Amino acid sequence: MTVPRYTRLIQSLPASVPFVGPEEQERTRGAPFAARLGANENVFGPSPKAIAAMQAETLEIWKYGDPTSFDLRNALAAHMRVQPQNILVGEGIDGLLGYLVRLLISQGDAVVTSDGAYPTFNYHVTGFGGIIHKVPYNGDHEDPAALFAKAKEVEAKLVYLANPDNPMGTWHAGTVIAQALNELPEDCLLLLDEAYVEFAPEGTAAQVDVEDPRIIRMRTFSKAYGMAGARIGYAVGAEGLIRNFDKIRNHFGMNRMAQTGALAALNDQDWLAQTQAKVSQARDRISRIAGDNGLTILPSATNFVAVDCGADGDFARKVLAALVARGIFVRMPFVAPQDRCIRISCGRPEDLDLLAEALPLALAEARK
């Protein structure tokens, strides 16, 4: 007799985790990283006003946070030009992905995503027993037409599309996404992950009717707003869909400092503009560093850059290992042919100085 008696689904799940954190890598290697450029964190950090707001809120931390995130949700609604009932605040996009999958997917239900797209989405789908169908990238871009055709073929309940994309940093114009929606099966929900959209050119966010029941979008304070450690994301969608999250979500799950900090961050769009400029400069610098080493980069609409190491995945994995060994935390795509690249987050000038030093050595070591 085994106790406890896990569900059959839980017994079938692998023990693997989506990502190993840099702290664990640091403990394994016995030294801290010199540059933290692997998790697409925003090293430029949040608005000083957000920091001040969080520091002040520590004095109120004895209180639970507002389970409706009323103030933040209203501010986000104004920002997104929708109604507050179109917004759900949650524990990062990762948390919201879990809730959304739980709402739609039970054992055997079909889900479509790109091969090599965000692993944590797949983790949640598998965790609720869904069957993942993958389509390849098209020229290092997500391929809306192929995704939606596959969704039709397998009668998918849910399809995942990130715009801009992670891990490649590529993007489609919002009009391309909106146009492709015509091919989305009528009974399929599109999850549009816009985690990086604030870094993208004007017009990347698709203009869609928020009450269109076929689409939900997710955004975050982890990237452009520099608050990854606060765990705060939001979903924007039709009122009926947003309301259904209330059936299952952890109502008192939001950290109070995170709520307050996010509101202050949202209200400091000047800081956001400065961050966007710094990220743009960092992308250019990474491009120059790559070029200095005979490598090319993929154009990026995010706060990271995929650097094409010019050979196959095995070679890129060697380059990555050699960078990590030199204290440069980076990650890379999982799937060929995208795994010919390594993915470098936009660091400060001093972080990229370290990259510039380490990359030629890493390449030489990989070529040995």
Q: Please give the residues from 114 up to 133 whose contact with a second copy meets the rule CB under 8 A.
A: 127
Kindly state the smallest distance separating residue 123's Cβ from a second copy, in Å: 8
Binders of a second copy among residues 180 to 219 (CB under 8 A) are 186-189, 213-214
* 143-148, long-range: CB < 8 A, 24+ apart: 143/114, 144/172, 144/176, 144/177, 144/180, 144/183, 145/180, 145/183, 147/112, 147/113, 147/114, 148/180, 148/183, 148/184, 148/185, 148/188
DSSP state of 332: -
Q: Contact with a second copy (CB under 8 A): which of 1, 28, 207, 368? A: 1
Shortest distance in whole angstroms from residue 360 CB to a second copy: 27
Residue-by-residue DSSP string for 61-96: TTSPPPTT-HHHHHHHHHHHTS-GGGEEEESHHHHH
Q: Residue 292: which residues within 8 A CB-CB, separation 6 or more? A: 356
Nearest CA among 277, 178, 254, 265 for reference residue 221:
265
Contacts with a second copy by CB under 8 A: the residue count is 87
Q: Which is nearer to a second copy, 13 or 149 (CB)?
A: 13
**Rg from Cα positions in the chain:** 21
Residues 46-105 that bind a second copy (CB under 8 A): 46, 51, 54-55, 57-68, 70, 91-92, 94-95, 98, 102-105
Give the nearest distance from C-beta 326 to a second copy in angstroms: 20
148-177 positions binding a second copy, by CB under 8 A: 157-158
15 or 368, CB closer to a second copy? 15
Whose Cβ is closer to a second copy: residue 291's or residue 349's? Answer: 349
Q: Are 93 and 233 in contact (CB under 8 A)?
A: yes
Residue 236, both tokens: 């924007």
CB of 173 to a second copy, least distance (A): 25
Determine the interface stretch with a second copy among 74-82, 248-256, 307-315, 360-368 (rule: CB under 8 A): 248-256
Among the listed ranges 76-84, 138-146, 238-246, 291-299, the one in contact with a second copy (CB under 8 A) is: 238-246
